[in-house]
Structure 1
């Protein structure tokens, strides 16, 4: 079954009873948030969950009102977008503002998650920016610590990730400065700008409510937005790179993707998918240019950190995520790969064999049926990153945000789908792009 067939089937199911599906979604989200509020040990998670219970509950109430008051006077309050807005304001902006202000009273680097107003990746990325300015490398030299390293001494990101923390490194130091330069705000701003740029590249297509629910209102996005943020910026940049490739701008896509991969290596499988997209649409010469630019950008931005302290770079970026460092990665959500690997040496081998088999299966999928549109590419990226998250021994449940966001973006990208591989001279005009239509749909 092709991408468009899958999309069409999902649209038919959704169109048959959109309010019922909305109600089920918001009810499930409310239950998840309530469970998190009552049981989680992380302070930031509990704060988000308390707001989220109210947000999803309000969205559920509004959906039920829509379903049982079909004869009420029409107006903006009868739009399904009201539920999205409630989640955005009450379930995302309000907890983020609360946690940013609460963070000013301390809690970073504490051994107790009950004191954290931001997840460790927030402080680690901000520290990496400060170290980059001071020493030329964003990584702590573990040999100079004077004590055995702990998990928070590591920075398991590429050098580009430190750039997000530069506003705080340069302008922080006062309560107002620290609050306004909290790296979560930087991540949110980057994600927002990527959304705007992506929609413009696609000709400002209509955005379905279901797409907004997957990309914005889903708990994986809302929780990450309030407590951490890096994955939202990375996946938004990834979607923008896909939009560039799908609109036949392979050079720009390769450059952006090289920078994103140099921030977080999880993006590398997506680079393979976009390479197949470029080759299928524009041919071998465009693929060669894409591959050359991507490789060059990815390598060049790593070079300064390697020249300053290559051993430190490899310890943080390669050995720690791979489980080969002095300290084990805390990424251990009870997903299939981790559960299989936790049974012992044989289980760890089995997990990696399953991961390799899944990667081979996806590669064969790409070879036998390469993507010809942005929607096609996003489907394969979602499947690939979802499989990676499920089967990798050291992983986090939160990485599934890459799947939900890319699937939501797929619903928007479907307006750019073309029925066959195209070249610059044969690309059919996209009716959405040529009309400049802007809209929000309820499906």
Structure 2
């Protein structure tokens, strides 16, 4: 089934842009205001109204072959740049931005980004300590979060316009954007691993793992890729660099207040606290946890089972390219995001963005790594 889906997506993406680009922007122009009408959050409504104009202009421009680059500029400007400037000036954003700003303030004043005994939803900080750095930097965190995401994708050699203008990316970038630098670094780490740069891959993946736990599955997938292409020693180097980077950022705070760290980073996202997480989109995991007796235990068991299945597939058939590794990781995280007890549609940005290196065409080819038998055949 995985191979069939893979072939289908590659067929769709191999079609000439002229055939589907105007339709794609037109679909976005319809979806954006539709989402604004369906949401009861002011930041979402404001984004939908502004993004619809940008997507409409992009759809009109995309009808002409010479104006397609301008269409992508219009889409990015209308769905990202202008709404981001407007919402930032108006002070509109999701609660996660307040959490990041407060965690940065707490880090500077108390030495810890966490409230020791959180009670209300706003008191919880479900992110790892590295995320607090975005709350320390001057200005609205959204600019830094979006900038880190765009920089990571650019360094990975991916096409920025399509990803930035995609509604599932543009919306969180404008109203919150917490997950974007995480998934951007994950993509960059996999690309570096595929290029045979284990040290740099470990540094990037370790930095992502210090921001949010959702980045952790990327490391074993990257290690499997490095082992398949280069062998065990480079993989050990990648693992060592990643673990040292992550541990340096996380362990001091986890050891200083283990109970507070557990309440914020582990119990709250998994729905194990008395305070309900606002992440409550009607995906299977949340529906099970809410309406089925013992549903939380069931969802956690399903999460564990899906993780084991993906791990078994990686061990049985290690990915040979960064594209294959990204697809495997996108599949695993897609399952995880739909099965989490406290989940939201915005988490689907992980499989979406990871699908860019899996199916997209990078602007530059990755460095070819020749090892063992492959090198001997090349020299023959």
Is the structural similarity TM-score above 0.5? yes
CA-CA distance at 1:409 after TM superposition: 2.8
More relative contact order in 1 or in 2 (CA 8 Å, sep 6+)?
1
Return the index of the structure with the highest Cα Rg: 1
Q: Identify the match of residue 122 of structure 1 among 83, 93, 97.
A: 97
Cα distance, 1:216–1:424 mapped onto 2, change above 3 Å? farther
SS at match of 2:73: helix
Are residue 194 (structure 1) and residue 152 (structure 2) matched? yes
Q: Deviations over 1:380-434 (max 9, x none)?
A: 1111111111122211110111111111233135964799x84399679xxxxxx
The answer to whether the Cα contact below 8 Å between 2:33 and 2:52 also exists between their aligned partners in 1 is yes
Q: Identify the match of residue 361 of structure 2 among 383, 402, 412.
A: 412
Cα distance, 1:10–1:328 mapped onto 2, change above 3 Å? closer
2:133 corresponding residue in structure 1 = 163
SS at match of 1:331: coil
Cα distance, 1:244–1:424 mapped onto 2, change above 3 Å? farther
Q: Which moved more, 1:31-40 or 1:326-335?
A: 31-40
Q: Distance in 1 between matches of 2:279 and 2:319?
A: 32
Q: Distance in 2 between matches of 1:300 and 1:186?
A: 22
1:227 corresponding residue in structure 2 = 175
CA-CA distance at 1:79 after TM superposition: 4.1
Matches within 5 A, 1:9-88: 10-16=9-15, 18-63=17-62, 65-66=63-64, 78-88=66-76
Q: Distance in 1 between matches of 2:179 and 2:338?
A: 17
Are residue 276 (structure 1) and residue 224 (structure 2) matched? yes
Q: Distance in 1 between matches of 2:363 and 2:229?
A: 16
Are residue 136 (structure 1) and residue 111 (structure 2) matched? yes
CA-CA distance at 1:341 after TM superposition: 2.6
CA-CA distance at 1:44 after TM superposition: 0.9
CA-CA distance at 1:221 after TM superposition: 0.7
Q: Deviations over 1:224-282 (max 9, x none)?
A: 11111221111111111112211111122112212211210001111121111111111
Are residue 250 (structure 1) and residue 249 (structure 2) matched? no
Are residue 101 (structure 1) and residue 115 (structure 2) matched? no
Cα distance, 1:424–1:160 mapped onto 2, change above 3 Å? farther
Where do 5+ consecutive residues of structure 2 fail to align?
A: none
CA-CA distance at 1:373 after TM superposition: 1.2
- How many residues align? The count is 375
CA-CA distance at 1:185 after TM superposition: 0.6
Q: Distance in 1 between matches of 2:296 and 2:192?
A: 38
Q: Which runs of 4+ in 1 moved over 6 A?
A: 5-8
Q: Distance in 1 between matches of 2:278 and 2:25?
A: 30
The answer to whether the Cα contact below 8 Å between 2:105 and 2:136 also exists between their aligned partners in 1 is yes
Are residue 265 (structure 1) and residue 213 (structure 2) matched? yes
The answer to whether the Cα contact below 8 Å between 1:140 and 1:154 also exists between their aligned partners in 2 is yes
The answer to whether the Cα contact below 8 Å between 2:76 and 2:161 also exists between their aligned partners in 1 is no
Cα distance, 1:353–1:306 mapped onto 2, change above 3 Å? closer
1:184 corresponding residue in structure 2 = 142
1:401 corresponding residue in structure 2 = 349
Give the TM-score normalised by structure 1.
Answer: 0.78
The answer to whether the Cα contact below 8 Å between 1:251 and 1:289 also exists between their aligned partners in 2 is yes
Q: Distance in 2 between matches of 1:78 and 1:26?
A: 16
Q: Identify the match of residue 120 of structure 2 among 132, 150, 156.
A: 150
What do you get for the CA RMSD once the two structures are aligned? 2.7
Cα distance, 1:261–1:14 mapped onto 2, change above 3 Å? closer
The answer to whether the Cα contact below 8 Å between 2:73 and 2:161 also exists between their aligned partners in 1 is no
CA-CA distance at 1:15 after TM superposition: 4.5
SS at match of 1:230: coil
1:440 corresponding residue in structure 2 = none
Cα distance, 1:324–1:336 mapped onto 2, change above 3 Å? closer
Q: Distance in 2 between matches of 1:293 and 1:424?
A: 24
